A and B are shown apart, each in its own frame.
Chain A
């Protein structure tokens, strides 16, 4: 502007009227604008997460992390309107937009010490942060309910989820390990009561690639605690691992008979067995309910007691109830049991084919059992343990039992019973005692007394009269024997005489022999007499 005043001075022409210095604010504005744009671009959605407590949450300090990478920050921590929870406002970054999905999960990471291990130790110093797991859903959501504990399995992990159905949870917990051949391959991720409240659904996760070992025929069983088995082979202690003893665990496997079934699909349902033995047993198949009426006290028969058929465990007692028989005015015990005919194994298959039996037809089942009942099939309560008096129900054939009426069309099947073995012995013993008590013991005793008296008299008589005679006889006998003895003694004259006589006889016999010999050689001497030439001595041999 000074140039205008100096007319004479040569004016330095400038192409633009605008000073170049204006580039500076333009650049500044551009930089500022770029910052704003970048910030705006980076700003992700704002979400609200509700937690039960605000423990460890601080506005502008608590971070939200996914796999330990920062994806957002808590901007405000407020008490919910109903004062029952705490809501944390979280500003997510742009890349973390996918975390605002309906199935995303958030939880507070803080140090946790459990039987399964210690986690989140780093947060001891740095303070808690919010862990996040992105959902798969496409539904956008901005309000979440924070989890109280971290989910054991994040979405990204490869593997499969399965649902196990159990009667109760046992000692399992979230994070309980799952073993396959004693190698941990997964864990329990959640559990919930069944809709009707009669069981527990346990959701488990088996990591890849081991999830391929779960097939349609796989059985799951509870591997918690110690399994002590006292058998004929001695004491056997079985456990999966020390940690499963403490925090519970599951194991799975396939029965030996399994034939490489197809790999189970995601979310497949399995039953959870109490132990490996039950799990790996042959399949139960279709069950039959039978009712047995026992006319005796069933002390020792509890629900769950085994039902055996010819020694094969194939069912369980489900209820033991007292009944009243209005006709007999007695209180029979009605025992209900569930049996699994397929547990008989090959026998069952053989039986079905031999009898041309359709297991689906209830009527046919009844008729089949009717045949068996006719052949003597009876239920019997037997003592399984003499010490505790535990009973079990045994189905067996008793060929010489009385025939009973059987209605094959009735359901549940009414199985005729026969008294138990121990009870039979008791009965026989009772009968024996009864017979004994019927004996006329008094009369017998009286008779016996009279007889004894008579006997006493006879003995007295014997003493008085017979014994002195016997004594005399014996004295005489002794004298006789003495005489005989004397006669037979070495120096007795009788014996001397006997000896002499015998010598004489000997000499006689010798002479006779000499004579017979001489006569044998000289028979002529009988007529002529002895020749003179020869001395008699020369004839001696």
Chain B
């Protein structure tokens, strides 16, 4: 079975802006219809993805170590970290809530790091291992990206609602900022990753051949 020629081979490229197929052999690197700059792939995808991923990893450490919330109840203030909260719920028997918090706040970012790292390494090595699954993984990472801000939202809500002066107040702490940064960075990393890189490298005939 003959595979159709690749766009690269025909020196063609899709415009991001209007979707027109342009000829990249021309000296101008702009779409001749809408004038948008033409890119065969997302610019610097791997480097950018790595950069954001590393930044997210760096922020992941203070996000978990620093307290995210300061609860003042009847005069005594307590700082709580995410891991501390999970442990507290777990110890008090609310294992379900503990599990939800653990997955949403610690598990999901960790999964994202692993997934993006895996995608990046395989893309750099132009590996042709499980390409279809890898692209599925990428779509999954993009999907859960929206939901990672759950913690930030909870803290923001609670902090704005629980302001009962002397009886009790809840204030956000630096940790939640870093947590938000982790989420933003991982989303940026996922955005800057180009899934087309999965399919680059050795011809995909092997898959068809098998």
Known: A2-B40, A5-B8, A19-B48. A25 touches B24 (CB 8 A): no
Residues of the B chain whose Cβ atoms lie less than 8 Å from the Cβ of A25: 51-52, 54-55, 58
Contacting chain A: which of B73-81, B97-105, B133-141, B152-160?
B73-81
Interface check A182, CB cutoff 8 A = no
Q: Is the CB of A127 within 8 A of B52?
A: no
Q: What's the nearest-Cβ distance from chain A to residue B108, in Å?
A: 19
Q: Mark A35-55, 1 if CB is under 8 A from B, else 0.
A: 100000000000000000000
Among A6-14, A95-103, A307-315, the one that faces the other chain is A6-14
Q: Is A353 part of the contact surface with B, judged by Cβ < 8 Å?
A: no
Q: Which residues of B contact A (CB under 8 A)?
A: 8, 11, 24-25, 27, 29, 39-41, 44, 47-48, 51-52, 54-56, 58-59, 61-62, 66, 74-78, 174, 181, 185, 188, 192
Once the chains bind, are B29 and A21 in contact (CB under 8 Å)? no
Min CB distance A127 to B, Å, is 5
Residue pair A28, B27 in contact (C-beta under 8 Å): no
A126 at interface, CB cutoff 8 A: yes
Contact A8 B58 (CB under 8 A): no
User: Are B76 and A35 within 8 A (Cβ)?
Assistant: no
A-B contact pairs, 17 of them (CB 8 A): A5-B8, A19-B47, A21-B192, A22-B47, A23-B51, A24-B185, A24-B188, A25-B55, A25-B58, A28-B185, A31-B62, A32-B61, A32-B62, A123-B75, A125-B74, A125-B75, A126-B76
> Is the beta-carbon distance between A9 and B27 smaller than 8 angstroms?
yes
> Contact check: which of A1, A24, A123 meets B52 at CB < 8 Å?
A24
Q: Which residues of A contact B (CB under 8 A)?
A: 1-2, 5-6, 8-10, 19, 21-25, 27-29, 31-32, 35, 60-61, 63, 122-123, 125-127
A residues near B8, Cβ cutoff 8 Å:
5
For the complex of A and B, the 10 pairs showing the least CB-CB separation, nearest first, are A126-B75, A28-B55, A25-B54, A28-B58, A25-B55, A125-B74, A126-B76, A21-B51, A2-B40, A21-B48
Whether B44 pairs with A61 at a CB distance below 8 angstroms is no
Instruction: Tell me the dominant secondary structure on chain A's binding face.
Output: helix
CA distance A8 to B29 in the complex (A): 10
Whether A28 contacts B54 by the Cβ 8 Å rule is yes
The answer, among A2, A22, A61, for a CB contact under 8 Å with B51, is A22
B29 and A10: CB pair below 8 A?
yes
Q: Which residues of A contact B41 (CB under 8 A)?
A: 1-2
Contacts of B61 in A (CB 8 A): 32
- Contact (Cβ within 8 A) A61 B76: yes
A61 surroundings in chain B (CB, below 8 A): 76, 78
Least Cβ–Cβ distance between B196 and chain A, in angstroms: 11
B74 touches A28 (CB 8 A): no
CA of A126 to CA of B25, assembled, Å: 75
> A219 to B207, alpha carbons, bound, how many Å?
106
**Chain B positions within 8 Å of A6 at CB level:** 11, 24-25, 40
Report the minimal beta-carbon distance from A20 to chain B, rounded to whole angstroms.
Answer: 9
For the complex, give the distance between the alpha carbons of A115 and B47 in Å.
74
> Which of the residues A2, A21, A27, A126 comes within 8 Å of B47, measured between beta carbons?
A21
Report chain B residues within 8 Å CB of A126.
74-76
Which of the residues A1, A9, A35 comes within 8 Å of B24, measured between beta carbons?
Answer: A9
Task: Identify the closest chain A residue to B76 (Cβ).
Answer: A126
Q: For B41, B54, B188, which residue has the most chain A Cβ atoms within 10 angstroms?
A: B54
B48 (CB) vs chain A CBs: closest residue: A21
Extra A-B contacts (16), CB below 8 Å, given A25-B51, A32-B61, A35-B62: A2-B40, A6-B25, A19-B44, A22-B51, A23-B51, A24-B185, A25-B52, A27-B55, A28-B54, A28-B59, A31-B62, A32-B62, A60-B78, A63-B76, A123-B75, A125-B76
Contact of A21 among B27, B44, B174 (CB under 8 A): B44
- B44: which A residues are within 8 A, CB to CB? 19, 21
| Bound complex: CA A125 to CA B41 (Å) | 62
Are B58 and A127 in touch, CB under 8 angstroms? no
Q: B39: which A residues are within 8 A, CB to CB?
A: 2
Q: Which partner residue on chain B sits nearest A5 by CB separation? A: B8
Residue numbers in A under 8 Å from B181 (CB-CB): 28
Shortest distance between the CB of A44 and any CB in chain B (Å)? 17
B25: chain A residues at CB < 8 Å are 6, 8
Structural contact, B58 and A29, CB atoms closer than 8 A: yes
Most buried by A among B44, B56, B174: B44
User: What chain B residues lie within 8 Å of A63 (beta carbons)?
Assistant: 76-77
CB-CB under 8 A from A35, the residues of chain B are 62, 66, 174
* CA gap between A2 and B37 in the complex, in Å: 13
